[in-house]
Amino acid sequence: DQQVKQNSPSLSVQEGRISILNCDYTNSMFDYFLWYKKYPAEGPTFLISISSIKDKNEDGRFTVFLNKSAKHLSLHIVPSQPGDSAVYFCAALSMDSSYKLIFGSGTRLLVRP
């Protein structure tokens, strides 16, 4: 039972263009959603989060959009840079469930120079 799904295993984008990574979830009780970036041989790096009471959060080149009615969120990276090439994980958390993060399976982003 996958509560958090990332249906695109990979994405390739030209440098300077927008990267859009998508995530779907099934549990309407999630309170927060987070995006992490992971390079090989490193732990996940926290990028940006959004509360379930908001529909948008922005931090520099990164913006996360939340559509609760569709149970869908997306991460926009503008402009994309070659250093953004990594695996991106979407994660969700319910604060009445021991604060455990439930992760999607990840999307590998390649930004081509």
Partner 1 sequence: DAGVTQSPTHLIKTRGQHVTLRCSPISGHKSVSWYQQVLGQGPQFIFQYYEKEERGRGNFPDRFSARQFPNYSSELNVNALLLGDSALYLCASSSLRSSYEQYFGPGTRLTVT
Residue with tokens 């979830």: 25
C-beta of 91: minimal distance to partner 1 in Å? 7
Nearer to partner 1, 80 or 94 (CB): 94
Nearer to partner 1, 77 or 90 (CB): 90
CA dist., res. 69 & res. 52, Å (int): 11
C-beta of 104: minimal distance to partner 1 in Å? 5
C-beta of 52: minimal distance to partner 1 in Å? 11
**91 burial via Cβ count (<10 Å: 0-12, 13-18, 19+):** buried
C-beta of 13: minimal distance to partner 1 in Å? 21
- Beta strand pairing status for 62-67 and 56-59? antiparallel
Nearer to partner 1, 89 or 111 (CB): 89
CA dist., res. 15 & res. 18, Å (int): 8
CA dist., res. 113 & res. 103, Å (int): 29
Which residue ranges make up the site for partner 1 (CB under 8 A)?
A: 4, 31-32, 34, 36, 41-46, 49, 89, 91, 93, 95, 97-106
